Amino acid sequence: MAAGISGAAGHYRALERLYAQAPINALFSSRLEVTGEGRARIEFDVSEAVYHAAGAAHGTIYFKMLDDAAFYAANTLVTDRFLLTTSFNLHFTKPVRAGQVIAEGQWISGRKRVLVAEARLTDAEGDEIGRGTGTFMRSRIPLSELPGYSALGD
């Protein structure tokens, strides 16, 4: 972790760097903020580049942002291992077109092997557009070995 930042704050900043450096996130205009234990927030912009044929955001965008927000909320409680999504239930409540969308994740239960977290998507007007619940399992992958998680500049 970065020098001078330790404990929970250091872990949260390291998770934010891990998100920013994941190759998939180069495809999306998004930013993760870990807001506290068991909580994560992702702001992202929806554009026509992610539309399906009927002119609204494709469901893969809903899944990605909900899964990421729930995942990072859960991973705030695990400081040694990367979590893996083992299942995710998704509910679409409203189509979204261009604009900023917020995904907010919150840990629900579990701290040992399996963790459960939920996430909610809201559009620029504050209306819910989707929600989901995921289960996440500790992997054998040490967080400290992942690019972006350890020290700044890795």
Q: Give the start-to-end residue ranges of the domains of the chain.
A: 7-143
pLDDT of residue 2: 44
Q: Which residue, among 38, 57, 74, 78, has the nearest Cα to 121 in the 3D structure?
A: 57
Alpha-carbon distance of 121 to 104, in angstroms, equals: 7
CB atoms within 10 A of CB 105: 31
- Taking the chain (154 residues) in runs of 10, the rounded mean pLDDT of each run is 68 96 91 98 94 94 97 97 97 93 98 96 96 97 91 45
Residue with tokens 């250091």: 10
Give how far Cα 56 sits from Cα of 67, 122, 127, 131, Å: 19, 15, 15, 17
Can you spell out the DSSP letters for 75-137?
Answer: HTT-SSEEEEEEEEEEEE-S---SEEEEEEEEEEE--SSEEEEEEEEE-TTS-EEEEEEEEEE
Give how far Cα 15 sits from Cα of 64, 69, 108, 119, 123, Å: 17, 12, 19, 17, 24
pLDDT of residue 5: 60
Architecture of 7-143 per CATH? Roll (3.10)
Give how far Cα 88 sits from Cα of 36, 59, 63, 84, 143, Å: 22, 13, 9, 11, 22
pLDDT of residue 151: 52
pLDDT of residue 147: 84
The pTM (predicted TM-score) of the whole model is 0.92
- The crossing angle, in degrees rounded to 10, of helices 59-75 and 7-21 is 150
